[in-house]
Structure 1
Amino acid sequence: MQRRIIVSGTASGVGKTTVTLGLMAALTKQQRIVQGFKCGPDYLDPTFHLAITNRISHQLDSWMLSEEWIKTIFYKHSKDADLSIIEGMMGLFDGHAASNNVGSTYEISQILDAPILLVVDISHCARSAAAIVRGYQLLEEDVNLAGVILNHAGSEGHANLCQEAIEQMCDIPVVGYLKSDDVPVLPERHLGLVSALEQGQHDLLIETLARVVANQFDLAKILDIAQRSTSLKEEKFIFNWPVESRHVRIAVAYDAAFHFYYEENFSLLKKAGAELVLFSPLAGESLPSECDGVYLGGGFPEEYLEPLMKNKKLIADIQKASKDGMPILAECGGYMFLAKEIHVNGKTYPMAGVIPMEVTMQEKLAAIGYREVATVTETIFGKKGTLIRGHEFHYSTSRFIEDVQPAFTYETQNGERHHVGFQSNEVLASYIHLHLASNPEMALAWMETCQQYQLKRENSK
């Protein structure tokens, strides 16, 4: 049986990540094996999980993935852990739409039969905290709310007042609290928390979190709550993919500028016959030799424009690869890197120039939301109309400087049809982070496209 808990909250910004990281740090210091998971499409929080637990954290998204996929991901990565901590997204019931629970943390708790610890911001209330918790208990008939954590308490006495009210009215325990000045504020940038790839500056923060949580949380009770779950059975997926004769090399950009990838995308590509070869554009590295495809993920290219534009060898190699028809998938940050130029604070930075596009960074969020897209024409993923789900979140805007073939089309909630991205000569690029597990056959189609390029490359020697 895998012990598991979900750390959820009443809303975004109530302290879910702070509590999650504190629990991970405190329990890891007890020499326990802690496995992290994240509800929703977020990339940044899992990098913090990795930094603390030394184990890759995995996204669990019930809008992009089926129930079987979620159970498979959880079972596979939690079976050797002492405890799995699943960090929620937004508020407990927030997901794809306001009319149902699809894509919500609540839905993940139902799929995995995972007890929930609800983080409540009590900075402006006392007895009313019980009304908040009671509302979350009653919205659905079977909410597995097992404990409460109080955040932003003015004092220990304030926390005690809220605890008394909650335990009296809601009949569930308060298992910990944080005062407003207990820990430093987690640093943020426009995409959220600063990536844990830069975690060196956060060592003191994590030490402080571990100490405070060990002192102010009932870790024994939390571990007991985590054990109140049914055993999960391993889900079996049979793809019947003939991979024995297929072996292609995919160059994957991976460093502080490009590191937003769904781990399950990597797993599927490997299953389909890919060898993933990581390289760092920021370190001055170019495409690895004998590559048959390129994967440019999202990240923070706008933070590293000087070293990126100075990597002339990579830019030349990317330009040649695109002209030669090498299959290239670029998402968000990778899409920006393929543009002609990026504008930031009045300065212009030339990029790879594969896409006739200008990108401009701005202060306000440009787009956010789930996307179910269809390919507009035949692509590296196969025939026209191939469906795939993903997520879009970015602060930059883009403008094509000549007519292009869009990559995808999707319909908005108000019925508008949008065409987005870029498709040409085996380059498929857009702002959308695609989840291959929403349509696994695309991984196979991409590898078959790479294999065709491989044969062409070998025949030209």
Structure 2
Amino acid sequence: MNTKSNKTTILTNEAGTTAFDHQAAPRLIIAGTGSGAGKTTVTLGLMKALAQRGLRVQGFKCGPDYIDPTYHTAVTGRASRNLDAWMTSPDYVRETFARASAGHDISIIEGVMGLYDGKDPLSNTGSTAEIAMVTQTPVILVVDVRSMARSAAAIVLGFQQLEPELHIAGVIVNRCGSAGHYTIVKKAIEQMCGIPVVGWLKRDEDMSIPERHLGLVPAIERGELEPLFQRAADVLLEGTDLDLLLELAASAPPLQLQTHRTAIENDTEQPSQATPQQKHNFTDTCQPVIAVARDAAFNFYYPDNLELLEAAGARLQYFSPLAGEGIPAEADSVYLGGGFPEEFAAVIAGNENFLNGLREAVRTGMPLFAECGGYMVLGETLTDREGVTYTMAGIIPAQVQMQKKRAALGYREASAVQDSFLLKQGEVLRGHEFHYSTMTYREEGEIPYAYETKGLRGLKQEGYASGSVVAGYTHIHLGSYPAAAQRWVHHCNAYRQQRTL
């Protein structure tokens, strides 16, 4: 391997641990042959092992996911970021990646599903492979080799040949039965594929990552999964050449970035290239405040969304409904993100300060945006999986019912059905849906839907937009249309000026 051709350098810091020349942009993508191959275990183990060496590790996740970034953040101590070239654009992804990676020693990107799985079975759209090519990142392919030997080489070879532009730099084999099994698989792959097998993980039933149950995020934040993260690092280090992985990361070429114009000059345009640093110059002298609910019940937010709102001129103020807090007095808007409100429905129902604050916000015309979990709280009632019903804000004339079967999953193009503080009619935001609840409206008149969403199963009308409220199940990504963030903050300014008259 010739790392000099890419102008990359592995250094040693004062503590004797490994560090990098930041211009080299050292990075790896951990991809799997399919869901369940072990990429999350490898990713977390690698992040933990590198952090233990004294490296500053920045985590990323391909696609629209909130749980894995929460894992990464817990392990590295740095907020993990989502990279999605369908919801945003390739240039947006590159700029976001470069900005978040700056000042760190190495970036680790965890893939989604199998390497080539994404939005479209006939292309790389929405896949880990797409992110790898957009960011020019070497791929470490995780292969589950249970009950196979030379066949593992055929699997790796197929992954290499499907996309010649992709750089699969190495392989980690998972669930090996023994050191001897690993040796056989390693020889076969290296002979046929010409890339190194950098390590292996033995079969370990205690190493499975917990299912994505509803209390998982709070458990992560309480530190309850720390022993699992340490175990993942220990198992990885037992059979993996960490120095070789660092060399492969250092072989990544410098990112090629482009400079774009500011996010919004014209409401009729939909530029997807703008980044959170490209701030709009407001003439307003007062900075509007967006109150963001953030606790165990409301915790699914893309960092990009929050940063784009700040870049548009807003100041974010966080509050916790679970801690008994209401809407901050200085708020000019409210943002209720997704999460698990059904797990804390009794607490939310008992916080009249919060619920009354939402009702008062709507009464006074304050911009209120809610997605998924936040959308559920705006209904009249919420019935949990045990059949217990709780009173919610009653802003939306509908009842929410939890169910065991998943109600929706997948990418969405959300086109505005009507004008609002977020979008003008026909404008589009991209995002995704993932929920286990249904919203049933009372049959009284026509429902003021927020969006017409497009997914794999076609078109449907979804959400609620009336007065100063925009809400729906779709988790939107403001990076897909930064003009929406600008318009939101503009309306916050207008509300602020109105209430101070």
User: Normalised by the shorter chain, which TM-score bucket?
Assistant: over 0.9
State the shift of 1:235 in Å: 4.1
State the shift of 1:124 in Å: 2.7
State the shift of 1:178 in Å: 1.2
State the shift of 1:89 in Å: 0.5
Q: What is the aligned partner in structure 2 of residue 408 from structure 1?
A: 451
Aligned mate of 1:351, from 384, 392, 405: 392
Is this contact kept in 1: 2:338–2:371, CA < 8 A?
yes
Q: What is the aligned partner in structure 2 of residue 181 from structure 1?
A: 204
Map 1:436-455 onto structure 2 (within 5 A): 436-455=478-497
Q: What is the aligned partner in structure 1 of residue 417 from structure 2?
A: 376
Asked if 1:258 is matched to 2:275, the reply is no
Q: Report the Cα distance in structure 1 between the residues aligned to 2:406 and 2:339, rounded to whole angstroms.
A: 15
Aligned mate of 2:86, from 52, 63, 72: 63
Q: What is the aligned partner in structure 2 of residue 144 from structure 1?
A: 167
Q: What is the aligned partner in structure 2 of residue 297 from structure 1?
A: 337
Q: Report the Cα distance in structure 1 between the residues aligned to 2:231 and 2:205, rounded to whole angstroms.
A: 8
Secondary structure at 2:112 match in 1: coil
The farther-off stretch of 51-60 and 158-167 is 158-167
For each residue in 1:26-74, what CA deviation from the matched residue of structure 2 results, as whole angstroms up to 9, or x when unmatched? 0100001111010001011111111111111110001011111111111
Is this contact kept in 1: 2:410–2:455, CA < 8 A?
no
Is this contact kept in 2: 1:37–1:60, CA < 8 A?
yes
State the shift of 1:412 in Å: 4.1
For each residue in 1:230-261, what CA deviation from the matched residue of structure 2 results, as whole angstroms up to 9, or x when unmatched? 11245434326222526210000001111111
Aligned mate of 1:288, from 328, 332, 338: 328
Q: Report the Cα distance in structure 2 between the residues aligned to 1:29 and 1:121, rounded to whole angstroms.
A: 26
The farther-off stretch of 32-41 and 348-357 is 348-357
State the shift of 1:156 in Å: 2.2
Q: What is the aligned partner in structure 1 of residue 269 from structure 2?
A: none
The farther-off stretch of 432-441 and 448-457 is 448-457
Q: What is the aligned partner in structure 1 of residue 4 from structure 2?
A: none
Q: What is the aligned partner in structure 2 of residue 271 from structure 1?
A: 311
Q: Report the Cα distance in structure 1 between the residues aligned to 2:52 and 2:455, rounded to whole angstroms.
A: 46
Q: What is the aligned partner in structure 2 of residue 316 from structure 1?
A: 356
State the shift of 1:294 in Å: 0.5
Tell me the amino acid that sits aligned with residue 106 of structure 1: A
Tell me the amino acid that sits aligned with residue 243 of structure 1: F
For each residue in 1:284-325, what CA deviation from the matched residue of structure 2 results, as whole angstroms up to 9, or x when unmatched? 111111110000000111111121111111000001111211
Tell me the amino acid that sits aligned with residue 256 of structure 1: A
Tell me the amino acid that sits aligned with residue 390 of structure 1: G
Aligned mate of 2:66, from 36, 39, 43: 43
TM (norm. structure 1) is: 0.96
| Structure-2 change in CA distance of 1:225 and 1:398 (3 Å) | same
The farther-off stretch of 71-80 and 175-184 is 175-184
Aligned mate of 2:47, from 24, 28, 37: 24
Asked if 1:385 is matched to 2:426, the reply is yes
Q: Report the Cα distance in structure 2 between the residues aligned to 1:271 and 1:222, rounded to whole angstroms.
A: 36
Asked if 1:116 is matched to 2:139, the reply is yes
Is this contact kept in 2: 1:391–1:432, CA < 8 A?
yes
Asked if 1:396 is matched to 2:419, the reply is no
Tell me the amino acid that sits aligned with residue 194 of structure 2: D
State the shift of 1:99 in Å: 1.2
TM (norm. structure 2) is: 0.88
The farther-off stretch of 405-414 and 436-445 is 405-414
Asked if 1:340 is matched to 2:383, the reply is no
For each residue in 1:192-222, what CA deviation from the matched residue of structure 2 results, as whole angstroms up to 9, or x when unmatched? 9656643421121112122222222110000
| Structure-2 change in CA distance of 1:367 and 1:191 (3 Å) | farther
State the shift of 1:266 in Å: 0.9
| Structure-2 change in CA distance of 1:212 and 1:244 (3 Å) | farther
Is this contact kept in 2: 1:48–1:196, CA < 8 A?
no
Q: What is the aligned partner in structure 1 of residue 19 from structure 2?
A: none
Is this contact kept in 2: 1:188–1:194, CA < 8 A?
no
The farther-off stretch of 197-206 and 39-48 is 197-206
Secondary structure at 2:323 match in 1: coil
State the shift of 1:385 in Å: 1.1
Aligned mate of 1:79, from 102, 109, 117: 102
Is this contact kept in 2: 1:47–1:196, CA < 8 A?
no
Is there any run of 5+ residues in structure 1 with no aligned partner, and where? none
Aligned mate of 1:13, from 32, 36, 61: 36
| Structure-2 change in CA distance of 1:385 and 1:339 (3 Å) | same
State the shift of 1:190 in Å: 4.3
Q: What is the aligned partner in structure 2 of residue 432 from structure 1?
A: 474
The farther-off stretch of 349-358 and 291-300 is 349-358
Q: Report the Cα distance in structure 1 between the residues aligned to 2:246 and 2:455, rounded to whole angstroms.
A: 43
Q: Calculate percent identity across the aligned residue pairs.
A: 47
The farther-off stretch of 188-197 and 4-13 is 188-197
The farther-off stretch of 141-150 and 196-205 is 196-205
Secondary structure at 2:191 match in 1: helix
Secondary structure at 2:122 match in 1: coil
Is this contact kept in 2: 1:44–1:195, CA < 8 A?
no
Asked if 1:330 is matched to 2:373, the reply is no
Is this contact kept in 1: 2:217–2:296, CA < 8 A?
no
The farther-off stretch of 98-107 and 378-387 is 378-387
Moved over 6 A (4+): none
Is there any run of 5+ residues in structure 2 with no aligned partner, and where? 1-23, 266-279
Secondary structure at 2:119 match in 1: coil
Tell me the amino acid that sits aligned with residue 119 of structure 1: V
Aligned residues: 458
Secondary structure at 2:305 match in 1: helix
Secondary structure at 1:276 match in 2: strand
Q: Report the Cα distance in structure 1 between the residues aligned to 2:161 and 2:216, rounded to whole angstroms.
A: 32
Tell me the amino acid that sits aligned with residue 409 of structure 1: E
Tell me the amino acid that sits aligned with residue 309 of structure 2: L
For each residue in 1:100-140, what CA deviation from the matched residue of structure 2 results, as whole angstroms up to 9, or x when unmatched? 11111101111111000001111232221111111101111
Is this contact kept in 1: 2:367–2:468, CA < 8 A?
yes
Q: Report the Cα distance in structure 2 between the residues aligned to 1:217 and 1:343, rounded to whole angstroms.
A: 48
Map 1:128-167 onto structure 2 (within 5 A): 128-167=151-190
RMSD over aligned CA atoms reads 1.6
Secondary structure at 2:243 match in 1: helix
Tell me the amino acid that sits aligned with residue 408 of structure 1: Y
| Structure-2 change in CA distance of 1:190 and 1:204 (3 Å) | closer
Is this contact kept in 2: 1:248–1:273, CA < 8 A?
yes
Is this contact kept in 2: 1:147–1:175, CA < 8 A?
yes
State the shift of 1:85 in Å: 0.2
Secondary structure at 1:200 match in 2: coil
The farther-off stretch of 419-428 and 402-411 is 402-411
